[in-house]
Amino acid sequence: MPVVNIVASQSKIQERGNLTFVCQVTGSPTPTVRWQTEELSSKYFIQQEVIWSSTLELVLHLTNVSSHDNLHNLTCEAENQAGPGEDMVQLDIEFPVKIIFLKNAVQHHHWCFPFAVDGNPEPTISWLYNGKELKKSEFMYTQFMPDSGDGSVKHGCLNLNKPTHLNNGNYTLIVQNKLGRDEATAFGDFMINPFDFICMNFLLIEYFSSSFHKQVSHGRDGEPKKVFVAVGLALFACTFLLVMILIINKCGQHPKFGLHIGSSVLSAEDDLAVSLRFLKFGTSPPSSEEDSGLSSFVENPQYFCGIIKEKDMCVQHIKRQDIVLKWELGEGAFGKVYLAECANLSPDSDRMLVAIKTLKDANESTRQDFQREAELLTVLQHQHIVRFYGVCTDGELLAMVFEYMRHGDLNRFLSRAHGPDAHILEESKMAALGQLTLPQMLHIAAQIASGMVYLASLHFVHRDLATRNCLVGEHLVVKIGDFGMSRDIYSTDYYRVGGRTMLPIRWMPPESIMYRKFTTESDIWSFGVVLWEIFTYGKQPWYQLSNTEAIECITQGRELERPRTCPNEVYVLMQGCWQREPQQRMVIKDIHSCLLRLVKNPPVYLDILG
């Protein structure tokens, strides 16, 4: 069998330097040798194989090395008829320290300033409070999080235990190593200074007492009572005004108090919350007055144009003669959806099955919306987003071509095919496959999380993540996206607000229900509900309650109960998604990592009620 040994020119190097690795291999017969270079960010070239005596050498030269390869396992593989062999070496690339982020204080168990830093050698960390050195104590200390699996990046928090108004101010993080230094400042606003109010009251009382004394001393006999009443009313009015100003200012900073002036807060938040309706095609049943066209998505101009330019993509146009319609799958919000065969889409096959979404009643406005939606769909390319192939605009026909997901939407797949009652449903041809296992349910959840990680990286907000809006293909492949044909089937999942807007309130967090605030954090909440749906085989959240009762439960902080077949490790993830404060919810990237770990090592769970 091959014996592999890697010899390195040096163990450490600074960023943008050069490294050489020699892979020495012996074996009989002479093995084939290769370097694994797929994940390298650094530039490289491989020298031709050289045989010295019975030893074969393959040299790898890294040039202008990148810190992205830091702590990367560089592997040399060899194989002959007797079997395989390999050796690996870990890259150790030094680079200046940098602060990835430092956020303003958020409250969890304690108040915390979250931060992430990167650097090699490992940086030293210190803090300033309002420009002066911050002395650490049991009430104020830096805590690092467990290894997050992203190389040399270190995540942590400056924890403050029960801070008061005396701790309000600027907190500066300073990091440094032998190659550089970086700093960033965040603000802590923990409590209103109660003494500001008392001092103001004292000054008002002192002023009016002085005025009153003068009026009594110098006025006529009949005026003291008038002056007393006037002073009392003035003092009351000033005090009331001051209290209201303080409350409004505070509530403006913390929307959780529920005081918003007009719609300025909502409009500002909505500008940040980009509506990702790119594959919904009208799943939320709209009224006749709204969503009548194809403009069911809103792109954020700060990101959308940049993405288009960076990706340098164009919408693919598909010829009408390449499409052969087979039969109708259903009717979406804007037209019919067909199963079809399409030619010239893939070099691997002559024809392939696709789903065709057609547009009816196409006027100039809907044609423009059609083009804009197609451009957006072209940008969104991910293995767990339903693939968009292109458009057909020959003649009067306007159609979008998507990959065909054979098993339909995930909710139907769970409840009618693989739930505990699937065997009693005659229509379920997939029931013969049996009830889903725990590893399979975790695998489904991890795929949806992977798609959401991608959308979050593009700063898109889905707004309606649910199992009904995910599709299932062959080999249990799950992707985000649907064709808008579930409107009648899932109409009870939506609640009409104000006579027009239909909202999936059972999947929405408190801030979305109360303030129509949609962010990546509100998508995290919805993902927790999707997890709950998966482990209940597609049950409707709060199925035992009416819509108004469900709204009351959600806004009052009640949580969905742990499903009977759900391990505690998964329910902890759900609870991490359902934190009332958006900033305290888990990050979708971390949720995805946790699910991948659970897929590899599923928790042992015995359903004793089975």
| pLDDT for the residue 264 | 28
- To the question of whether residue 214 is assigned a binding role by annotation, the answer is no
pLDDT in tens, 176-224: 998 899 999 999 888 765 444 433 444 444 444 444 444 444 444 444 5
First to last CA, the chain: 49
Rounded to two decimals, what is the model's pTM? Answer: 0.52
Q: Do domains 3-94 and 103-188 have the same CATH topology?
A: yes
| pLDDT for the residue 423 | 52
CATH architecture of 314-403: 2-Layer Sandwich (3.30)
CB atoms within 10 A of CB 51: 10
- To the question of whether residue 330 is assigned a binding role by annotation, the answer is yes
pLDDT in tens, 259-277: 222 222 223 233 222 223 3
Instruction: Answer positive or negative: Cα dihedral of 409, 455, 279, 532.
Output: positive
Q: Which entry of 291, 464, 493, 523 is annotated as an active-site residue?
A: 464
- Residue 317 has what DSSP assignment? B
- To the question of whether residue 311 is assigned a binding role by annotation, the answer is no
Name beta bridge partners: 3: 26
- To the question of whether residue 469 is assigned a binding role by annotation, the answer is yes
19-26 and 106-107 beta bridge pairing: unpaired
Q: Which of 88-102, 353-367, 596-610 has the highest mean pLDDT?
A: 88-102
C-alpha 120: how far from its chain's center? 28
pLDDT of residue 91 exceeding 50: yes
606 is written with which tokens? Answer: 């015995």
- To the question of whether residue 33 is assigned a binding role by annotation, the answer is no
- To the question of whether residue 336 is assigned a binding role by annotation, the answer is yes
Domains in the chain: boundaries: 3-94, 103-188, 314-403, 408-424+434-600
| pLDDT for the residue 502 | 82
pLDDT of residue 391 exceeding 50: yes
- Residue 603 has what DSSP assignment? P
C-alpha 192: how far from its chain's center? 32
- Residue 584 has what DSSP assignment? G
- To the question of whether residue 335 is assigned a binding role by annotation, the answer is yes
- Range from 174-178, 287-291, 340-344 carrying the lowest mean pLDDT: 287-291
Respond yes or no: is residue 147 known to be catalytic.
no
- To the question of whether residue 387 is assigned a binding role by annotation, the answer is no
Q: Select from 2.60.40.10, 3.60.15.10, 2.60.40.720, 3.30.2350.10 the CATH code of 103-188.
A: 2.60.40.10
- To the question of whether residue 329 is assigned a binding role by annotation, the answer is yes
What topology is assigned to 408-424+434-600 in CATH? Transferase(Phosphotransferase); domain 1 (1.10.510)
373 is written with which tokens? Answer: 């939606």
Is there a cis peptide before residue 121, judged by omega within 30 degrees of 0? Answer: yes
Strands of the 399-403 sheet, one edge to the other: 323-331, 336-346, 349-358, 399-403, 388-392
What topology is assigned to 3-94 in CATH? Immunoglobulin-like (2.60.40)
